[in-house]
Structure 1
Amino acid sequence: MQTPTELIELQRLIDEGGTHLGARVLCEVDAAATAGGQRLPVIAVTLGNPAPDIPAVGFFGGVHGLERIGSAVVMAHLRSLVMRLRWDESLHRQLDGVRMVFMPVVNPGGIARGTRANPQGVDLMRNAPVEAQDRVPFLLGGQRLSASLPWYRGPAGAPMQPESAALCRVVEDELLARPFSLAVDCHSGFGLRDRLWFPYAHTRAPMAHLAEMDALHGIFQQSHPNNRYVFEPQSRQYLAHGDLWDHLYQRASALPQRLLLPLTLEMGSWLWVKKNPRQLFSRHGIFNPLIAHRQQRVLRQHMALLDFVARAAASWRRWLPTPDARERHGQLALQRWYGAAAPP
């Protein structure tokens, strides 16, 4: 089995970034379902100010091995930063005020095998110790019946998979160690629209920091008024067990003076299929733009989003609602996303 091209490109970027980048191998995973074969690294890359009082932003991709476009979007942003480090003085000033973390290839075994799950058959986005508080869609919401079926959560009571645990460890070490952090996890495969989902996935109740999420939504709409993203809680679409970002948001909320606002970019891959129906006959075509110019368009489109998220993290004190404004933001958010009042 060949090493995924994403890992080769990531190592090339690490080499080109030189002393500006930090890189560590979080774990190595088997490329096959059985041990003893090729081992693939799960790598985290960091740049920017490591001081603990500095805000942080994390970019994640490749949690689902079939959704290679997610890795491509995160890698394109990292590549742009590495190239700009050579000449862009404004970028160096920005990096003095923010810590950036990249995990473009969270599930290298799934990418190598061309599967949504990791080589053990576990869907990493259903693998956290979080149980949905209401009925979830059959299979889609996470199941423990069999690794041969999609959306398998893993055995009950078992530790998280090495890839899931590695992502959580990076978030805890790099994001939750700081007073404020944002995260974007890039996926594809749901509908005809690009969506920005935020917690929760396991309950229809609003998150505790709904006012802060509304403020983030507000500055995004103001600075990118022509964007086509649907910004909403994931629970408006479906509930699921084991969501990693629900788990990490809850961990952050339990820590004093820590705020994590995680977003999931769910790229609407059905649009690519609609434009090129032949993609239905390819397992990768359901989740990725297979035509070169469409892939380039997707990468260009989402670069502005990732750049915005980094700038929002660095400038968090300028837009986060004051105590007096929190109630207004909270009420606006309840009306926009949940109706006139919070759900029971």
Structure 2
Amino acid sequence: MAPAPALPELNALERIIELGAGHLQARVVCQVPVDPAQPDGARLPVYAITLGNAAPHVPAAGFFGGVHGLERIGAEVVIAYLQSLVMRLRWDSTLHRQLESVRLVFMPIVNPVGMLRGTRANPAGVDLMRNAPLDADDRVPWMVGGQRTSAGLPWYRGAAGSPMEPEARALCELVREELLSRPFSISIDCHSGFGARDRVWFPYAHTRTPIRHLAELHALQDIFGRAHPLHRYIVEPQSAQYLAHGDIWDYLHLEAGERRQGGPVFLPLTLEMGSWIWVKKNPRQLFSRHGIFNPLIRHRQERTLRVHMGLLDFISRAAAGWRLWSPDGDERARHHEEALQQWY
């Protein structure tokens, strides 16, 4: 087999895995051919990394990035947070105690070949965030909402009736194993490229119907605002912006509800970093395909990593302490009504 070409983010992730040996568990969940026409050629691994308490009654938080290969900053945010945890494990006794009460799950580079090639899609031309077997219940924006016309066009869902792509299957299997098996879990999937403001989206994307755990999402937003009163994130359902076919987080949330009566509480979030602000500050980025989705100037990249590290750390802490803030009874009904007024 030919040696795999170098991918800096993947090299950085493998160094972190090596540094964290003894504290974390890492495994390759699939290998993706760099050239689909040469299945015996070079491949790139998709890693899943876990740390913390593996007991099934313990809550979990999942961190995902690099679903769209062109949006490198999403993977870099997740990798930076994982590196921070690994470095803190050497001296931070508070973190060690926190990890006794939570499971942390990472898949920082879901689409390594797309990242290597600088494409949104995987090597088969499929947009992994349009690949789930789920159709929107209303009209979607042309192309953007997902299309089955051609892999040569963006937002391609894959052929009707075909299996999900290997990277998407690996993500789903990890979520089922590590998140949906627990009484409570949160995930955050890091992307970029939508607007000039940072947004935190939650399901659904395929329908304007409110999510089953709307009260929990509103309570989560509430404690985040109280803990970080100066944050500038817009929190909203993705359907507030547009509908889409094949959203993988919609698919997994619906599956969670089918697992048992009432289902586990699973809150999948998507961070959409507003990349237009980077272009506004540096218009020359418009002439770079990467520049539309990533900060190309070093100090802006470093600032982006610093800003979002706080959000990811909050997700870990909120999962660990979910019983202290998750609403019940009349409180849950109040949060549900306030959420309907705010978002619907």
Identify the TM-score tier after normalising by the shorter chain. over 0.9
Q: Which residue in 1 is equivalent to 2:208? A: 204
AA paired with 1:60?
F
Q: Which residue in 2 is equivalent to 1:23? A: 26
AA paired with 1:97?
S
Q: Which residue in 1 is equivalent to 2:333? A: 327
Match of 1:285, SS state, is: helix
Aligned match for 2:92, one of 85, 88, 92: 88
Structure 2 CA distance for aligned equivalents of residues 190 and 184 of structure 1: 16
Shift of 1:2: 2.2
Gaps of 5+ in 2: none
Q: Which moved more, 1:247-256 or 1:119-128?
A: 247-256
Map 1:19-168; keep pairs closer than 5 Å.
19-34=22-37, 35-168=39-172
Shift of 1:323: 1.9
Shift of 1:3: 2.5
Gaps of 5+ in 1: 339-344
Q: Which residue in 2 is equivalent to 1:318? A: 324
Map 1:244-259; keep pairs closer than 5 Å.
244-256=248-260, 257-259=263-265
User: What percentage of residue pairs aligned between the two structures are identical?
Assistant: 66
AA paired with 2:286?
L
Structure 2 CA distance for aligned equivalents of residues 234 and 98 of structure 1: 27
AA paired with 2:173?
R
Structure 1 CA distance for aligned equivalents of residues 6 and 164 of structure 2: 24
Structure 1 CA distance for aligned equivalents of residues 282 and 35 of structure 2: 32
Structure 1 CA distance for aligned equivalents of residues 300 and 159 of structure 2: 39
Aligned match for 1:299, one of 305, 310, 317: 305
Residue 264 of structure 2 is aligned to residue 264 of structure 1: no
Structure 2 CA distance for aligned equivalents of residues 176 and 149 of structure 1: 33
AA paired with 1:70?
G
Whether the 8 Å CA contact 1:3–1:40 is kept in 2: the answer is no
**TM-score where L is the length of structure 2:** 0.97
Structure 2 CA distance for aligned equivalents of residues 52 and 3 of structure 1: 37
Aligned match for 1:187, one of 176, 187, 191: 191
Match of 1:20, SS state, is: coil
Q: Which residue in 2 is equivalent to 1:170? A: 174
CA displacement, residues 47-101 of structure 1 (integer Å, 9 cap, x when unaligned): 0000000000000000000000000000000000000000000000000000000
Q: Which residue in 1 is equivalent to 2:284? A: 278
AA paired with 1:20?
H
Aligned length: 338
Q: Which residue in 1 is equivalent to 2:295? A: 289
Structure 2 CA distance for aligned equivalents of residues 312 and 56 of structure 1: 10
Structure 2 CA distance for aligned equivalents of residues 228 and 33 of structure 1: 42
Shift of 1:284: 0.3
Map 1:226-245; keep pairs closer than 5 Å.
226-245=230-249
CA displacement, residues 2-42 of structure 1 (integer Å, 9 cap, x when unaligned): 22111111111111001111011101011123223210111
Structural RMSD (CA) = 0.8
AA paired with 1:263?
L
Structure 1 CA distance for aligned equivalents of residues 77 and 132 of structure 2: 24
Q: Which runs of 4+ in 1 moved over 6 A?
A: none
AA paired with 2:299?
H
Shift of 1:325: 1.2
Structure 1 CA distance for aligned equivalents of residues 232 and 212 of structure 2: 26
Residue 17 of structure 2 is aligned to residue 14 of structure 1: yes
CA displacement, residues 161-216 of structure 1 (integer Å, 9 cap, x when unaligned): 00000000000000011110000000000000000000000001111111111000
Whether the 8 Å CA contact 1:186–1:265 is kept in 2: the answer is yes
Match of 1:119, SS state, is: coil
Shift of 1:255: 1.9
Q: Which moved more, 1:288-297 or 1:253-262?
A: 253-262
**TM-score where L is the length of structure 1:** 0.97
Match of 2:191, SS state, is: strand
